[in-house]
Amino acid sequence: MVEINSTRLLDDLAALRRIGGQGTGVVREAFTATDLEGRRWLARRFAEAGLRPVWDPIGNLFGLPPTGRPMVLIGSHSDTQPEGGWLDGSYGVVCGLEIARAAQEAGLQGIAVVSFADEEGSFEPLLGSRVWSGELPFSAIQDRTDRRGRRLRDVLAGMPELRAAEQVPPQLFKAYIEAHIEQGPVLDDAGEAIGVVETIVGMQHVEVAIMGDQNHAGTTPMDRRQDAVMGFVAFAHAVDEGFRSEAGPSTVWTFGRVTVSPNATSIVPGRTDATLQIRDPDQARLNRLTARAERIAENISANGSIEIRTQVTAKLPPAPLNVALVSTLTSAAERLVPGRWRRMVSGALHDAVPVSRIMPSAMLFVPSIAGKSHCFEEDTRLSDLVQGCAVLAAAVEQVLVGHLPWNVV
Amino acid sequence: MVEINSTRLLDDLAALRRIGGQGTGVVREAFTATDLEGRRWLARRFAEAGLRPVWDPIGNLFGLPPTGRPMVLIGSHSDTQPEGGWLDGSYGVVCGLEIARAAQEAGLQGIAVVSFADEEGSFEPLLGSRVWSGELPFSAIQDRTDRRGRRLRDVLAGMPELRAAEQVPPQLFKAYIEAHIEQGPVLDDAGEAIGVVETIVGMQHVEVAIMGDQNHAGTTPMDRRQDAVMGFVAFAHAVDEGFRSEAGPSTVWTFGRVTVSPNATSIVPGRTDATLQIRDPDQARLNRLTARAERIAENISANGSIEIRTQVTAKLPPAPLNVALVSTLTSAAERLVPGRWRRMVSGALHDAVPVSRIMPSAMLFVPSIAGKSHCFEEDTRLSDLVQGCAVLAAAVEQVLVGHLPWNVV
């Protein structure tokens, strides 16, 4: 029976929090000094736990146990947003470390741990897991720069660890399981301890350009205007109404960026640019919603003096997780926190998305207090952190000793 | 009978256009080298026309005739927007110059000309006319800086002309008349030649702050959002509907500036700031519309999770023009361009606004092709420029020789 050591788990989380810590938050952007310091600390902790630290060419850090058998990989990332919280990513990596130690103490081998590089997208969102899974060729992004103006390949060339980088074949692993904070309010609202993720949503990203006619705000009569802000208002209003009638329980849509030109008090706006981001676990519904937004834009353009152009610039398909792993996690949750868990959808993207395309994968959520994340206030009750790790450990033990039908996806 | 010389009028307009000319446009921002070059050229032309050039302490340039009798003041401004047209302001000043010359040739005295300083607001909109009319004390703005970082009082101290500056008492004048391009599409649309302005609109300026709750665009369910962009959309939609039912023929309203925070694709916006500018010739309607916008904001704040704060930061009252002067202008228009003129409202502010508070004032508009102004494309047919000046000259002749009831306002 694998029994995690809650003090060791929380001590390691606190130690990692101090690296780049600022007040209650953490600043460890990918490939900065604090990020590398954090991951070098992880490498030492891996070694102390009997796991061999291995850096791969894109800068992912693995902790590999001395075993030839197929392994279970547990982890996440340890970089943060420019103003990040202490648990986003780090929780999953430290859970992996603790479960590897606890499993060894219980005489079980076969647990590997990973800290994927640059999940938060300093160079590219999910950089390490997308390159490792083969979805994103290194050649396509080697010249990408971060907001400091650094080039990815120069950054990698500057890491002494990568001189001895090794490829880590995904075939070594029979499953990937990632623990993460929910980053939303659902579990906290419901007073539940565990979310077992069934699907990670797909996302479509629509760039919207509203083309009006820039003019004097005093001398242009209302019926002669082609006002690009009022064109945006009409579009967003119609999209919101239309989407509400078609939405599923997990559908979300967001006009997150709105830029007006020339953006002056006394000028009728000539152009508005906006982004419409749509997320849903159901690919067919995603397609229907995007088509509906396009139709609304066409109707407004056809009826009025405003022209609205739409362009779908990203289409990420939903990532359904492995049915057998999901069921192992739900059994463990019901055993340890009966009635205080749920099956749910992840509205955020995670390293599990690209990894799920190449091996059976699963995710487990613990509550985020008030749903806050990507900010210094991000937090989770310590008892929930311990319970999440315990449920994950119980599920992993089943995977290691059991005979799960891996081809059932 | 005062007869203007159309060649002389158009030649002077063309000469002034070359000073700061860029392509079809003009760049003569207030108190820059090109603005001063233009106004020094005007001073020389005033002198050649027998008008004594007088600079007052704020940098207004007058051309005063040798007469002790009350005079009629004709003019406008000759500075431009950062990318301005060739007629905005300049047309009114050069009309004054030409009418002063033509009146002298007809044996009539008593016409003075003015180029007011900084109408376009490099330091302050309507700077010269507001200071001259006593509305704005120089002490209140002497430390104002322009976008080049220059301080107003340093700029004035650097003008050699102002060492001999003279106060020009408004009591010298019995009326002010300003010719200007319409800067809107009304006359051009109707194929008319002259607009006689009855009222310059008042303006109220409302700062709107929509306070939401910044959150993750993937993990925050729709029913848990306080989305500051969708709050703005609801507000602007309701304001637009409400205003349409209450608007008069000249009412206009504009959300010209909209700024979203943090303005990122994947973040539910936490705050939107917008400006709502309302213009109308009727003070009571202006007040009703502003109150209506405030009520809509209160209703949305009371019913939903979004808070909308409004603050009225400017209330400029409408400026009704002098009834007797308006009627003199309409008679002249009907005589010279029968059936091709209209009474109208000015939706833009002009130097006539502050001047109308201290003496009988009037304005005459000529058409702007396609309504364009404050841009390099700004233009008016030459025949319309000539006709406008001729109507103005005929009206001014009536004022000089006639006995108009000046106290009827």
Rounded mean pLDDT, A303-309: 91
- Mean pLDDT across chain A: 95
- What is the percentage of chain B residues whose pLDDT exceeds 90? 92
For A279, the closest chain B residue by CA position comes to B218
> For residue B406, is pLDDT > 70?
no
Predicted TM-score of the model (pTM): 0.89
Partners of residue A229 in chain B, C-beta under 8 Å: 236, 255-256, 258
Among partner residues A183, A258, A346, which is closest to B229 by beta-carbon distance?
Answer: A258
Contact assessment for residue A144 and residue A359, using Cβ atoms and an 8 Å cutoff: no
pLDDT band at B389 (very low <50, low <70, confident <90, very high): very high
pLDDT of residue B405: 53
Among partner residues B183, B201, B219, which is closest to A184 by beta-carbon distance?
Answer: B219
Strand partners, A315: A204
pLDDT of residue B70: 82
Q: CB neighbours (10 Å) of residue B245?
A: 7
Among partner residues A182, A221, A255, which is closest to B219 by beta-carbon distance?
Answer: A182
Cis peptide before B318 (omega within 30 of 0): no
DSSP designation for B278: E
> For residue A408, is pLDDT > 70?
no
pLDDT band at B114 (very low <50, low <70, confident <90, very high): very high
Task: Locate A151 and state its tokens.
Answer: 């080039």
Query: Does A347 contact B220 at a Cβ distance shorter than 8 Å?
Result: yes
**CA B241/CA A307 separation, integer angstroms:** 21
Query: Does A256 contact B222 at a Cβ distance shorter than 8 Å?
Result: no
pLDDT band at A407 (very low <50, low <70, confident <90, very high): very low
Rounded mean pLDDT, B306-321: 95
Give the residue carrying structure tokens 């092709």: B369
- A-B interface: how many C-beta pairs under 8 angstroms? 188
The verdict on A306 touching B (C-beta cutoff 8 Å) is: no
Rounded mean pLDDT, A367-381: 94
- CA separation, residue A236 to residues A258, A301, A330, B212 (Å): 11, 14, 39, 17
The three state secondary structure string of A16-69 is: HHHCCEECCEECCCCCCHHHHHHHHHHHHHHHHCCCEEEECCCCCEEEECCCCC
> For residue A406, is pLDDT > 70?
no
CA A342 to chain centre: 19
pLDDT band at A187 (very low <50, low <70, confident <90, very high): very high
> For residue A180, is pLDDT > 60?
yes
Rounded mean pLDDT, A330-358: 97
Among positive and negative, which fits the CA dihedral B38, B42, B48, B49? positive
A311-331 pLDDT tens trace? 999 899 999 999 999 999 999
pLDDT band at B407 (very low <50, low <70, confident <90, very high): very low
Nearest to B82 by CA among B144, B129, B35, B16: B35
- What is the percentage of chain A residues whose pLDDT exceeds 70? 98
> For residue B276, is pLDDT > 80?
yes
Contact assessment for residue B62 and residue B56, using Cβ atoms and an 8 Å cutoff: yes
- What is the percentage of chain B residues whose pLDDT exceeds 70? 98
Task: Say if strands B173-181 and B361-366 run parallel, antiparallel, or are unpaired.
Answer: parallel
pLDDT of residue A409: 33
Nearest to B180 by CA among B344, B23, B51: B344
DSSP designation for B58: T
Rounded mean pLDDT, B314-340: 96
Rounded mean pLDDT, A189-201: 98
Amino acid occupying residue B394:
A
Cβ partners under 8 Å of residue B175, min gap 6: B72, B73, B322, B325, B359, B360, B361, B362, B399, B406
B117-135 pLDDT tens trace? 999 999 999 999 999 999 9
pLDDT band at B308 (very low <50, low <70, confident <90, very high): very high
> For residue A191, is pLDDT > 50?
yes
Cis peptide before A262 (omega within 30 of 0): yes
CA A1 to chain centre: 31
A105-123 pLDDT tens trace? 999 989 999 999 999 999 9
Query: Does A254 contact B275 at a Cβ distance shorter than 8 Å?
Result: no
A181 CA to chain B: closest CA distance, Å?
A: 11
Query: Does A373 contact B216 at a Cβ distance shorter than 8 Å?
Result: yes
> For residue B383, is pLDDT > 70?
yes
Task: Locate A148 and state its tokens.
Answer: 């400091």
Partners of residue B269 in chain A, C-beta under 8 Å: 255-256, 258
Nearest to A28 by CA among A108, A82, A70, A104: A82
Query: Does A216 contact B254 at a Cβ distance shorter than 8 Å?
Result: no
Query: Does A203 contact B218 at a Cβ distance shorter than 8 Å?
Result: yes
**CA A107/CA A65 separation, integer angstroms:** 13
Contact assessment for residue B319 and residue B199, using Cβ atoms and an 8 Å cutoff: yes
Chain B, 319 to 378: residues with Cβ < 8 Å from chain A are 346-349, 371, 373-374
- Mean pLDDT across chain B: 95
**CA B80/CA B151 separation, integer angstroms:** 19
Query: Does A373 contact B203 at a Cβ distance shorter than 8 Å?
Result: no
**CA A145/CA A60 separation, integer angstroms:** 18
Cβ partners under 8 Å of residue B170, min gap 6: B132, B133, B134, B358, B359
pLDDT of residue B1: 85
Cβ partners under 8 Å of residue A109, min gap 6: A65, A66, A67, A69, A103
Amino acid occupying residue A3:
E
Query: Does A257 contact B263 at a Cβ distance shorter than 8 Å?
Result: yes
Contact assessment for residue B318 and residue B283, using Cβ atoms and an 8 Å cutoff: yes
**CA A281/CA A319 separation, integer angstroms:** 8
